[in-house]
Structure 1
Amino acid sequence: MTPSTTSPPRALITGATGQDGGHLTELLLAKGYEVFGLVRGQRNPRREAYAREFPRATVIEADLTDLPSLIRAVDRAQPHEIYNLGAISHVGYSFSNPAITAEVTGKGVLNLLEAVRLAGLAGSARVYQASTSEMYGGLAYNRPETGYTEESVFHPRSPYGVAKLFGHWAAKNYRESYDMFVSCGILFNHEGERRGVEFVTRKITDAVARIATGQQSHLELGDLTPRRDWGYAGDFVEGMWRMLQHDTPDDFVLATGRTSSIEDFLHLAFTAAGIDDWRPYVVQNPAFFRPAEVDVLLGDPAKAEAVLGWRRHVDLAEMARRMVAHDLTLAAAPLAVAVA
């Protein structure tokens, strides 16, 4: 079977309940797509929240580690576009659980590509693979002054980065071997209100909101010096969509072209909550230091800007303001219940 071209475009999103999945679902529904959100298993705690937020999206159960379930999902959705956002995507977690990270984040890409091929959609469906800046590793000897490009050398420094690099090369191999339309987005750090609290930016804004409302006294973090190229997730999912609208499949870096440290983000987040000095509230805990840290990651989005016409709209200060405002609203909710 091949997707019909007379009906609204259909998109299948793996990892639909994650940060990028939520932003992308919102974008595609606004563009008139029929969206199928793939979730893993019946006990996914985010499934109900996703269904409530996006009642027009269809939820499909499948697992990136289970090829038959992926074939069934692809065959049912008959998508014109597939966005593979599903992964175990926390770098720190990957050091504690490297095997399952490799199975889901790495081999899961291979399974999905095989599912597309075996379902007979290799010549019709366009696939987006979520690659990552963590594949570069940030080592001084392979760090370009103007930022990493699509041609820069990879040297991943975590099991997550290694697994993502496997998926990246699997995607390129299927593009070349089976003439599949597979584009890889090498995305640098992108955050937002939908980010999980296990990630440092959301951990910070969640704690800032709780500190500002008197529910928490301090925040424990690891190394505060790493510098990241931080953008807004809502801007980045538009870049994903643009990659699949382009005439030919390719690899594209999405980034802001500037870096900021965790200390910089702390300042912006506390300031957004009306707290001028973050230092009295932050404690460094050696338990949060990683075995191998990437000290600087800077991307060069020139190709995406020139070829796709992609631009970012939300800067770091505005992103921090939005995240803190969101978390202040959540922090105020239990207070309102307690008062009532």
Structure 2
Amino acid sequence: MSDLIPIQEVIEINPRVQELGEQGFIIDPDKLDEYLKDFKNRKTTLPNKDYWKDKRALITGISGFAGSYLAEQLLDLGCEVHGTIRRHAVPMYENIEQIRGKTFLHEADITSAERIFEIFDEIRPNAVFHLAAESFVPTSFREPARVAHNNIIGTIKLFEAARRFGADLESIQVACSSEQYGLVDPKEVPVIEDLKKNPFRPRSVYGISKCATEQIAWLYHNSYGVPSIITRGFNHEGPRRGIQFVTSVVHRQIVEILDNKRDKIVIGNPNAIRDFTHVKDTVNAYVILSEKKRYGEPFNICSGKGITIANYVKLAKKIFNINVDVFVDPNRMRPSEVPLLIGRNDKIFNETGWKPVRSIVDIIKQGVEYFQ
């Protein structure tokens, strides 16, 4: 802990970020009422239960963070829900413990063509949601080959199954990522889906793997008519988020402070800016886009507003009325950082009516309550 640096020594003042704040794209903890006012009485498009009733849905990675919420929503809509799980992912089963008797679970390695073909042939799904992936960016720095293999080869095997056994398939949604944008020119923020204006510059093997994933979905749609739905998800957060992700790192420390078990908060890069969306809003976007059959083109799934990690911590402290010092641990820094990621959600709103209806305050409160 001797390497810890007081956060005030690391904070950077970025003129472009100040400009984005003046334009309303940055969340300021000291101007929270202004931000929350936009959420008052906000409405979003909801799925059509008549469309989803009795549909056979397959979720790869059902026991994961987003997969578990998606399963709950599809069950509420009347779907027959199937999901793939990995044997060594047993600790993750707690995410779906409350729905295990209501879903059909299929043990599978997503990179095994034989097993994926068997599952497709057995289920003949109407809708597929491909969420299985190695999604923690730092893992791709430690184990790049494994992350690339799992994310890219797994997607190819899934789309081959869709091509061969997809007679009943109406949609196959692929969870791509804002990490594809990578090192964005600050002048290009907030980013849109047009690669002429916002080209991909991924800064991790994870980001590269998601670029490949998107291209696979596009290729199979344009070459074979596979009904691909492409979503570029920005950071989605909430209860059940893995303990290694920054929001959960903060939430757990808040709980320990409230329990008088620690006297400081420690984070990585405080200057990184991220666009956080509640996971329930994110999976609702997956369902809406699949229902409305927006094939073969990408959609940003984001809130349209960013916040520095430093201000995320500041806001969490404010919400829970705690006063402790914050430190930066250099060992938590990525070898190659994405400093600024904020998206525009105009496209999905204009085409479907989707908007996030939960605020960053909801994310923080519910995230802390989960660890309590």
Out of 319, 324, 330, the residue aligned to residue 286 of structure 1 is: 330
Question: 1:32-66 deviations in whole A, cap 9, x for unaligned?
Answer: 01101210126532235524444211111111121
Matched, 1:130 2:169: no
RMSD (Å), alpha carbons:
1.9
For the 8 Å contact 1:105–1:167, the answer to whether it is kept is yes
Distance in 2 separating the partners of 1:45 and 1:265: 28
Matched, 1:33 2:43: no
Residue 266 of structure 2 aligns to a residue whose secondary structure is: strand
**2:317 aligned partner:** 270
Distance in 2 separating the partners of 1:240 and 1:301: 14
**2:147 aligned partner:** 101
**2:260 aligned partner:** 214
Distance in 2 separating the partners of 1:146 and 1:262: 17
Distance in 2 separating the partners of 1:132 and 1:147: 13
Which AA in structure 1 matches 2:290? L
Distance in 1 separating the partners of 2:256 and 2:340: 29
TM-score (norm. length: structure 2) = 0.81
Unmatched segments (≥5 aa) in structure 2: 1-50
**1:174 aligned partner:** 220
Question: 1:261-281 deviations in whole A, cap 9, x for unaligned?
Answer: 101111122233331x34x1x
For the 8 Å contact 2:52–2:77, the answer to whether it is kept is no
Distance 1:68 1:147, change over 3 A: same
**1:116 aligned partner:** 162
Out of 224, 240, 245, the residue aligned to residue 270 of structure 2 is: 224
For the 8 Å contact 1:228–1:298, the answer to whether it is kept is yes
Distance 1:246 1:150, change over 3 A: farther
- Structure 2 counterparts to residues 1-340 of structure 1, below 5 A: 8-41=54-87, 44-47=90-93, 49-118=95-164, 120-121=165-166, 124-140=169-185, 144-151=188-195, 152-249=198-295, 250-275=297-322, 277-278=323-324, 280=325, 282-328=326-372
Aligned structure 1 segments of 4 or more residues deviating by more than 6 angstroms: none
Unmatched segments (≥5 aa) in structure 1: 329-340
Which AA in structure 2 matches 1:50? I
Distance in 2 separating the partners of 1:43 and 1:18: 9
Distance in 1 separating the partners of 2:53 and 2:68: 23
For the 8 Å contact 2:193–2:298, the answer to whether it is kept is no
Question: 1:9-36 deviations in whole A, cap 9, x for unaligned?
Answer: 0110011111110110111111001101
Distance 1:321 1:47, change over 3 A: closer
Residue 292 of structure 1 aligns to a residue whose secondary structure is: coil
Which segment drifts farther, 151-160 or 230-239? 151-160
Q: Which has the higher contact order (CA 8 A, sep 6+)?
A: 2
Distance in 1 separating the partners of 2:124 and 2:262: 48
TM-aligned CA deviation for residue 248 of structure 1: 4.0
Distance in 2 separating the partners of 1:184 and 1:139: 20
Distance 1:42 1:231, change over 3 A: closer
Distance 1:7 1:222, change over 3 A: closer
TM-score (norm. length: structure 1) = 0.89
For the 8 Å contact 1:51–1:59, the answer to whether it is kept is no
For the 8 Å contact 1:42–1:61, the answer to whether it is kept is no
Residue 166 of structure 2 aligns to a residue whose secondary structure is: coil
Which AA in structure 2 matches 1:159? V
Distance in 2 separating the partners of 1:48 and 1:189: 22
